[in-house]
Amino acid sequence: MPYKEKPTEKLYYSIGEVSGMFDVNASLIRFWEKEFEMIRPKKNKKGNRLFTQEDVDQLRVIYNLVKERGYTLQGAKEKLRTNKNETFHNTEIINRLQEIRAYLVELREHL
């Protein structure tokens, strides 16, 4: 059985990479950083933001609430304050279902 490498996961992502993941401007990521206290990227000596995978996951939850489900910023803050664990769990389920759908669409195209 041949050896199969696992995909490497980056420790830190730049703000450009993160904004590309969500297809939004970097200024929106900076704005959300100010608005939501749970997003605290590290900064290097030059002041560049370095986002961890945990930061990206939290941004994904915020993106889901604000952009996809239509919450206001205040509504998203309140939802995260009252039902943080449930909100994260629901977002994980949605992301997983989107991955499965993309896989099935790709599979259908190959048939």
Q: Quick check: is 3 in a domain? A: no
Q: Quick check: is 70 in a domain? A: yes
Q: Quick check: is 52 in a domain? A: yes
The CATH number given to whatever domain includes residue 90 is 1.10.1660.10
Which residue segment(s) compose the domain that 73 sits in? 15-110
**Per-residue pLDDT reduced to its tens digit, 26-46:** 999 999 999 998 899 999 999
Looking at the 3D structure of the chain, how many domains does it have?
1
pTM for this structure? Answer: 0.77
pLDDT score recorded for residue 105: 93
**Per-residue pLDDT reduced to its tens digit, 58-84:** 999 999 999 988 999 999 999 888 888
- Sign, CA dihedral 17-21-25-28, equals negative
Report the candidate in 67, 56, 73, 52 with the shortest Cα–Cα distance to residue 20: 56
Structure tokens at 23: 């297809």
Alpha helices per DSSP H over the chain: 15-22, 26-35, 53-63, 73-82, 84-110
Q: Quick check: is 100 in a domain? A: yes
What is the end-to-end Cα distance of the chain in Å, rounded?
Answer: 26
CA 28 – CA 3 distance, rounded (Å): 41
Q: How many CB atoms lie within 10 A of CB 49?
A: 21
